[in-house]
């Protein structure tokens, strides 16, 4: 797929596929990775699924962080990495406060911030610079800090993310990582990779091992 | 038969609190519940401290979160229960649809039924109109609990839903 510059071209952005390749490359074998919407679509395109992948398709609006919190609480020895879009996170901002309250130190939230609802045709989110009177995008890192995340990281270029990803993921959490990514032109909603009941059972078995 | 005859406003119903926190906490702990995910109301909120002594309490900001946190806990091998008010059930639609029906996660819930017993506080409260039809619409098998003598009904329903690997609810009159 081709990519386009965002509504705020001055901001440096990482190609979405490249940001996910970095995550895939640095992922440890015992880490759970939850993907939603655009990140799910591109994640599936990168190769065979890992037993601890949860491709959250179909999903409820913005609830990747919530299901990730549940898995993290049930499996405190495993790091759980949730890949959320900025539009999704805006739908469930309260989950950031819930994550901190629950002391989910093994949970990492990565927001792939492209400023738009990509799969519905790239309409700007309410948090995007293009939507706001002062032209400044909502500060997700600031929101995360205000909710109590101590470990907060932001990356706007592929090289920095490549070099800093593992260190950021390894910080004591809950951890929040903001990635400025490019919207994918023509990016559509992801297709379900298979029957949910089967995938849920497979994930439960993999988590028990 | 539960879930067919819906509540109707009746000013003759008396205000009362059906269960103590200790009763609910014991029921949940004895049934092997590991986590209670909750947004309180003025009745079920009073149970929190007792529950917290026996079961891990997870406080969320809005009720839709609760169903998805419970789904994650279930996938991770825990045994969660969602505890919210019926107004929060109304808010929860997409989240519970996805967890209970898209993913077939058998989450059990305890739902406070506002204004069923006490209709003096909010006369004409539309919770009486919508709560049971909405539970039916979401295909949640529920038991309406209106008496302190029905603690066993909650326990039996929770355990039978778990055995059948399906979602269920106890609708607690408030």
Q: Taking 60 as the threshold, does the pLDDT of residue A9 lie above it?
A: no
pLDDT at B172 over 90: yes
Residue B1: band (very low, low, confident or very high) from pLDDT cuts 50, 70, 90: very low
The answer, as to whether pTM is greater than 0.95, is no
Residue-wise pLDDT for A151-172, tens only, equals 999 999 999 999 999 999 999 9
Range in A141-145, B84-88, B114-118, B139-143 the model is least confident about: B114-118
Measured between CB atoms, which of A54, A75, A98 is closest to B60? A98
Angstrom CA distances, A158 to A46, A129, B143, B154, B158, stand at 17, 21, 54, 54, 50
B59 touches chain A (CB under 8 A): yes
Cβ-contact A56, A80 below 8 angstroms: no
Angstroms from B10 CA to nearest CA on chain A? 37
pLDDT band at A12 (very low <50, low <70, confident <90, very high): confident
Please check the confidence at residue A137 and state whether its pLDDT lies above 70: yes
3-class state of residue A152 by DSSP: strand
DSSP state of B100: I
Quote the pLDDT of residue A2.
36
Domain at A19-208, CATH from 1.10.8.60, 1.10.1060.10, 3.40.50.80, 3.40.50.970 = 3.40.50.970
- pLDDT of A4 above 70: no
Residues 6+ apart with CB under 8 A from A35: A43, A44, A53, A54, A55, A56, A64, A83
Distance from CA of B106 to the nearest CA of A (A): 11
- The band of B10, judged by pLDDT with boundaries at 50, 70 and 90, is low
Q: For residue B49, what pLDDT is reported?
A: 97
**B123 vs B115: CA distance, rounded Å:** 8
> How near does any CA of chain B get to the CA of A7, in Å?
30
Contact (Cβ atoms closer than 8 angstroms) between residue B123 and residue B77: no
Q: Per-residue pLDDT for A130 more than 80?
A: yes
Range in A4-13, B4-13, B43-52, B96-105 the model is least confident about: B4-13
Confidence of residue B7 (pLDDT cuts 50, 70, 90): low
How far apart are the CA of B165 and the nearest CA of chain A, in angstroms?
Answer: 12
Smallest CA–CA distance from A92 into chain B, residue: B65
Q: Helix, strand or coil for residue A22?
A: helix
Average pLDDT, chain A: 94
Tokens 């539960």 belong to B2
Longest alpha-carbon distance in chain B: 46
Q: What is the mean pLDDT of residues B131-160?
A: 97
With CA atoms as reference, report the closest residue to B13 among B111, B88, B125, B109.
B125
CATH number of B21-173: 3.40.50.970
Model pLDDT for residues A52-95, shown as the tens digit of each residue: 999 999 999 999 999 999 999 999 999 999 999 999 999 999 99
**What is the reported pLDDT for B18?**
85
- Give the pLDDT confidence of B82-105 residue by residue, as tens digits: 999 999 999 999 999 999 999 999
**pLDDT band (50, 70, 90) for residue B29:** very high
pLDDT, tens digit (0-9, with 9 covering 90-100), for B105-134:
999 999 999 999 998 999 999 999 999 999
User: Can you give the pLDDT at residue A71?
Assistant: 98
Closest CA to A80 of A90, A67, A97: A67
- Mean pLDDT in residue range B128-145: 98
- DSSP assignments along B4-32, one per residue: TS-----TTSPP-----HHHHHHHHHHTT
Chain B residues near residue A208 by CB distance under 8 angstroms: 77
pLDDT digits (tens, 9 = 90+) for A169-207: 999 999 999 999 999 999 999 999 999 999 999 999 999
Predicted confidence (pLDDT) at residue B3 exceeds the cutoff of 70: no
**Per-residue confidence (pLDDT) for residue A11, from 0 to 100:** 72
All structural domains of chain A with their residue ranges: 19-208
B95 touches chain A (CB under 8 A): yes
**Cβ B76–A74 below 8 Å, yes or no?**
yes
Nearest by CB to residue A94, choosing from B56, B65, B105, is B65
**B101 close contact with A: CB closer than 8 A:** no
Pairing of strands A116-117, A123-124: antiparallel
Instruction: With a cut of 80, say whether residue A123 has pLDDT above it.
Output: yes
What is residue A100's predicted lDDT score, i.e. its pLDDT? 98
Q: Where are the domains of chain B?
A: 21-173
Indicate whether B14 pLDDT > 60: no
């Amino acid at each position: 797929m081709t990519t386009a510059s965002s509504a705020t071209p001055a901001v440096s952005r990482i190609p979405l596929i490249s940001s996910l390749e970095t995550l895939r490359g640095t992922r440890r074998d015992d880490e759970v990775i939850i993907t939603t919407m655009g990140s799910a679509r591109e994640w599936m395109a990168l190769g065979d699924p890992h037993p601890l992948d949860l491709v959250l398709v179909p999903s409820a609006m913005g609830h990747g962080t919530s299901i990730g919190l549940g898995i993290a609480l049930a499996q405190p020895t495993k790091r759980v990495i949730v890949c959320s879009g900025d539009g999704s996170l805006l739908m469930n901002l309260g989950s950031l406060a819930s994550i901190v309250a629950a002391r989910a130190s093994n949970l990492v939230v990565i927001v792939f911030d492209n400023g738009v609802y990509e799969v519905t045709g790239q309409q700007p989110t309410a948090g995007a610079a293009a939507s706001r009177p002062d032209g400044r995008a909502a500060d997700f890192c600031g929101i995360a800090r205000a909710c109590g995340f101590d470990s907060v990281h932001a990356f706007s270029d592929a090289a920095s993310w490549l070099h800093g990803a593992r260190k950021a993921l390894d910080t004591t959490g809950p951890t929040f990582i903001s990635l400025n990514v490019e919207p994918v032109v023509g990016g559509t909603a992801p297709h379900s990779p298979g029957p949910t009941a089967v995938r849920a059972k497979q994930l439960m078995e993999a988590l028990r091992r | 038969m539960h879930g067919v005859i819906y509540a109707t406003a009746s000013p003759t119903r008396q205000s009362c609190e059906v269960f103590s926190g200790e009763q609910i906490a014991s029921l949940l702990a004895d049934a092997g519940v590991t986590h209670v995910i909750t947004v309180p109301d003025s009745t079920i909120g009073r149970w929190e401290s007792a529950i917290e002594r026996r079961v891990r309490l997870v406080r969320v900001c809005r009720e839709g979160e609760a169903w998805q946190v419970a789904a994650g806990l279930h996938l991770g091998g825990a045994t969660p229960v969602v505890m919210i008010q019926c107004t929060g059930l109304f808010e929860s639609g997409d989240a519970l649809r996805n967890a209970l029906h898209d993913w077939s996660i058998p989450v059990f819930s305890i739902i406070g039924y506002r204004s069923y017993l006490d209709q003096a506080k909010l006369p004409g409260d539309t919770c009486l109109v919508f709560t049971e039809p909405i539970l039916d619409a979401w295909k949640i098998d529920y038991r309406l609990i209106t008496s302190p003598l029905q603690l066993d009904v909650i326990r039996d329903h929770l355990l039978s839903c778990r055995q059948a690997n399906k979602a269920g609810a106890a609708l607690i009159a408030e």
